[in-house]
Structure formats: structure tokens, C-alpha cells
Amino acid sequence: MAKGRERKGRVEPRFEADGSGDPASLDLRLSRGDRAGGGVAKDNSKGRDNSKGKTAPKRSARAPAAPRRRRRSFLGTLVYGTMILGLWGLVALAGIVAYHASQLPPIDQLAVPKRPPNIAILAADGSLLANRGETGGRTVSIRELPPYLPRAFVAIEDRRFYSHLGIDPVGIARAIGQNLTRRGVAQGGSTLTQQLAKNLFLTQERTASRKIQEAILALWLEHKYTKDEILELYLNRVYFGAGAYGVEAAAQRYFAKPAKDVTLAEAAMLGGLVQAPSRLAPNRNLPAAQARAAQVLAAMQELGFAKPADVKVALAQPARPARAKGGGSANYVADLVMDVLDDYVGKIETDVSVQTTVDPAIQAVAERALVDELNQKGGRYNVGQGAVVTMRPDGAIRALIGGRDYAQSQFNRATTAKRQPGSAFKPFVYLAAVERGLTPDTVREDAPINIKGWNPENYSRNYSGPVTLRDALAHSLNTVAVRLGMEVGPKAVVQTAQRLGITSPLQANASIALGTSEVTPLELVGAYAAFANGGMGVIPYVIASVKTSDGKTVYKRAPSSLGRVIAPDAVGMMNAMMHEVFVSGTAKKGDIPGWDLAGKTGTSQDFRDAWVIGFSGTLVTGVWLGNDDGEPTKKVSGGNLPVEIWNRVMSAALRGDKPVPLPGAARWRRSTAVASANPAPAEPPSLGGLIDDLVGGGQPPARQPAPQRGGPTREDKNFLERLFGVD
């Protein structure tokens, strides 16, 4: 290739050997100077290539030095380090959050757990008797409440509730500052949403793990629900002490009113209560509760939640808890309802209201009458307990008092305690005799009697000779009752009592005529109802209807009975004889002017039990007095203290009602002049405990046609089985 050949204005590079023409002689090696940085070293060749004898190209005497790094300032290093640490801190925090989130159920499966159902037990007029269930009160909508009630909780617990996203950094910082300055845990930083998350999903333990999960759940709640929905959930779940969960339960518990009716002062007290329910409960520490309420009112005024004038009134008239109503006898009714409710509606999964047959006015009178009598005379007569049952002739319970004070003893003596009825059992003996042909004017001998060594006596130990059955029952003559029992046979007496509704086991022996087998007050009153209604058997009941919280009726009682259990003529004769008990007999002190009354008193051996069961054509009431341990009283008989209580209850219950005649009694009643000529002896006690194996005795007269019986409903059968343990 020719040297310096040009092609189209360009000089092509030339690669030739050193003149020999041999390409192999071409030297392509790099010298030290040709390599990068080679110019830095000192060139000893002085510009010549010793090996080739040629002049080397000239190079710069000194190559440029590499740029030097600037040293950071201390502040820059600190900022840089902080940023790195913060970044790693965020990574660590994300890991911790992810870990604790993994311990929770998957978010897409998370749901607010159902609130345990509340059972609101109502009186016949719709007023609340008691709440049952785990919460103590029903669920309320925030729309039902006065505006200042939810605001009280926001003001004192979470004033930034409507602006944060579930977690309040400002509140947390403020709480930390408060706690540091006070040297202790003085204030928490949890929002209402966090508190709700804890109540819904978590335990009450105070650990870092639980707080992280609480924050995660709070964010989920804020995403899932509106602020008002969160506040409504909170108000229905928060604990107020004394077994009250939710604002409705708390209002009923402390102020005996629904939450929709609380005043501003009461709302402030409820708002302050959740911080420490045990310490601030107004029924336990009223000064502390009122002081806390004042703080709530100040916060409400500061935030504009309450007018200064209203706050001033609330501070001047602070809230006070409502006084307990006596011993809370309505709880005995509530317990009875809960005992049998499952048989009517099955499993309960939502709030329900149970309307009962109880008349709150009669209930209050009966409770007051029993408590007053025991307070005034219990010590003198050595009697400490009692029970009262009032019932319509169809079996609907109008009042039920199971003891002197529910707070002291929840044992329901009206439904559960089985005691000897004494002479109060005699009407079943006389009815068995009447159904076999005897009448009120039939004469039997009042004289000493001996049955295989058993010698029952009258209380007075005196004997009147021949007496009519009317007088024998009115004056409760033991010898005549035993003779009648032996005439008809103890088995017939037992069958008669069972037909009328006595479900407790009865011993068919001679002493059954004197009431030695134990029964409950409720079943005895229920059996007497057949006399009051003209001969129809009834099963006592207390539930009239059951509705869900949205008003759907899930149960409504249909009219039912056991059918006719006493023939009309027999009812008339029995009512005429038992009427004499109130005219000239042992219950004369219980007479109510203008009313036809009938019934029977009873006293068990050694004055352990004292009874009176009496009725008009519209109402039946039974009273029992005694001691739980069976200790004898100091001569409490059916004709003294029980009759006084009975008269007070029935006088109030019948006030304003129109008197009605006793079914069938007019035909068999004797004149008042004849009745007044017979003085009323003292109430004789029966001779319980002297039970023998004697049965039968004598041939009974021809019996009357058997009464017709209906059938109990399924609910009635379940009621009997659950309440009395019978099939």
C-alpha cells in the first residue's frame, strides 16, 4: 500500500512492517508510556525509544491528579445517620406490625362480634321489671339518645375523635407528656376507636403486643365504619361496672331510667364513669363520681358541646343514683321467666322483650306488705321469711314475691320452697267428700279419734260434737277433716289435689288430711284458682308474649286450661263453705267489706309454717311465712300475720274493681245471722310428721259425675316439668 495515500479526502491508517514488508515483524505491544497513567512515571529515555532508535511522541510532563473527596460536617453526618436509622426503624416497625397483624384473623374475614342478647322483662303495662343476659341492657341507637350523652364521652375520652383516623398521635404525645410530668401512668393515649377495638376483639392485658394489635384493629374499624357507627358500637359495648355493659344498662342500673331520658348531669356522670367503673360508681363513691362528672362538664363547655347556662345548672344539681326499690322483688319474677323462657322461644340470639302478666302496682304493694310485716313483727314472732303469690283465676301471675330481700337471698320461696301447708290443704279433703255426695250441711262428729294409735286433736283440745261440714271447715276442726279423709280414702284426696294442679309428691296416708305433704306457694295458689274461676283447672303462667327488638312477635300465649276439674255444684258448695272462713272463721280479720271472699288458713306442726290462701271472683292471693331452716316460730298462725299481709295486698289490688259473686256460692250460703252466732276459734296447727301407712277407711258415698278435663299446651307441660320437676 502506498504511503500517504489519500481516499476521498481522508487519510487511511497505514499498518506496515518496519520496511521489510513482513507483516509478522509488526510490533503491536504497548510501552509503559502507552498504558493508562504511564505518563506519571519519569521517562529516562529522554524522548527516544532505545529499542527502535526512533523519537517517541511528546507527552505532558504531569498528568492531572484524581479529584479529592470533601469531608462531611458533623451535622451532615448526624442527619445522614439519623435518616439511615429512621429508614431501618421503619423497616423494623413494618416487620413488627406485619408480625402482630399475622396473629389476628385475616382482615377480609374480620367482623364485629355479635353483642350477647339482652332479655328485657316487662310488666303487663310495658314498664321494665328487669334485664337479664350478659350485658344488663338492650342495644340502643345513637339517634335515640339526647345529643349531649354521646358528646360527654367524646369530650372526656377522645376530643379529637371526629378528626383522627383511629390513632391520635397528638393525643399520644399529650399523654406521654402528662405521664412524664406526673411520674406515672396518669393518662392514656387510646382513642375511642382503640378502646372499642380492645373491647370487641382483644383481652384486657396491658402489653406492647396488645397495643399494636389494638392500633391495627382501630385503623380497620375506621375504614369499615362511619364515626357515628363507631360511637354507637362503643356506647353499647363499654363497661360501666355493676354488670352493666352499654349506656342503656348503665342508665337503668344507676338512675333507674332509660338512657334516652338521662339529664345532662347524669350524662356527664356516665361519661366519666368508664375511666374507672369500680372506683367511680356513684352508688359506691358518689363524691368521686360527681367530681369526675364536673370535669366532663368543663370539657363539654370548652368544646362547645354544652351551653354554659346548662353546665351551670348541672353543676348546681349534680346527678345522684336512684334508690333501690325495696329488696328488688321483681328479680324473683325475672328469675322465673328465665327458668321457663327456653321452653317458649328456644335459643335466643338477639335482643328480646318478654311481656309478663305481672302488675307492677300489685307487685310493689305485696313486697311492701311482706317487708313491713316482717320488719315490725318478725323479731317478736321469730319469723324471718315469707312469700306472696297473686294470680288471676285463669292462672296469670299478677305478683310474685319470693322472699324478704332479693339482694340478700335469691332463693325463690314462692316457686321452689316446699313446705307443709297444714290446714290450707283441707279444701281438697272436703272437695273429695263433696264429690261423693256430701253437702255443706252434712253433719260429722267432732270428737276424739284413734287411728292405729294416732290421736289427732283440735288446736283448742275441745270438741263440739256434731257439726256441719260448713262449720268444721270454717273453724278448721282437725278431727272432722281426718274423718272425712278416711271416709273417701287418702288416695282419693291425693287424686283430687293433683287434679286441681298440685304437682309435688303427695303421701297417701291418714295425715294427708292435715296437710303433711309439702307443696310450694305457687302450686297451692294455682290449685285454689279452680275454685275462683268456677271449676276450670289452670297452670300458672307469667309470660304473655315475646318480641324481638324489631317488634317481631315470636311467642304469644293462647288461652288454655286443664278443662273442667270440678263440677259446678261442687264448686258452689266449696265456695260457700270457704266463704265462712272469712265471715266467721280463722280468716275473719282479712275480710274486705263489699267483697265475696273465700279461702283457708293453715299452720303446720309447731308453728313452722303459716299460710292463708284466699280469693275473690277476680283474684287469688296466697301468703306463706316461716323460717328457711324450719325453726319454729313463736305461734305465727295462718290467722294472724299472714292474714294481715293478705288483707293489705288484696285491699289494694281490688280497689276500684267492681265486686263479683263467688261462682255458685249463693245457692249454698247460709244467712249472716246464723254465721255470726258461731265464734271463730284459734287456728289449730296440723300434726305434720306423724305420717303412718294407713290408707282407705270407710266406703265412700256414690260419687258425682267425673269432671271433664282439657289438655295442657306443650309450653304448660314444659313449665310444669322445669318448675316442679314433674312430667
**Close Cβ partners of 233 (under 8 Å, ≥ 6 residues apart):** 112, 196, 200, 225
Q: Provide the grid cell at 392.
A: 288471676
Spatial CA neighbour of 445 closest among 490, 474, 485, 477? 477
Is residue 545 annotated as a catalytic residue, yes or no?
no
Strand order in the sheet with 352-356: 128-133, 118-122, 352-356, 543-548, 553-556
* Cβ atoms of 153 and 272 closer than 8 Å: no
Please pick, among 157, 214, 644, 715, the residue that the annotation labels catalytic. Answer: 157
Please pick, among 190, 329, 353, 423, the residue that the annotation labels catalytic. Answer: 423
* Cβ atoms of 652 and 469 closer than 8 Å: no
* Cβ atoms of 526 and 539 closer than 8 Å: yes
The CA-based angle 611-614-618, given to 5 degrees, is 150
**Close Cβ partners of 328 (under 8 Å, ≥ 6 residues apart):** 405, 406, 407
* Cβ atoms of 664 and 572 closer than 8 Å: yes
Query: What is the rounded distance in angstroms from the CA atom of residue 344 to the CA atom of residue 586?
Result: 41
Q: Please give the C-alpha separations between residue 557 and each of 389, 529, 560, 593, 714, in angstroms, as whole numbers.
A: 21, 19, 8, 35, 11
Other Cβ atoms less than 10 A from the Cβ of 721: the count is: 14
Query: What is the rounded distance in angstroms from the CA atom of residue 506 to the CA atom of residue 499?
Result: 12
Query: What is the rounded distance in angstroms from the CA atom of residue 524 to the CA atom of residue 638?
Result: 15
Query: What is the rounded distance in angstroms from the CA atom of residue 527 to the CA atom of residue 428?
Result: 9
Is residue 134 annotated as a catalytic residue, yes or no?
no
Buried b (16+ CB within 10 A) or exposed e, 118-136: bbbbbbbeeebbbbbbebb
Catalytic residues: 157, 423
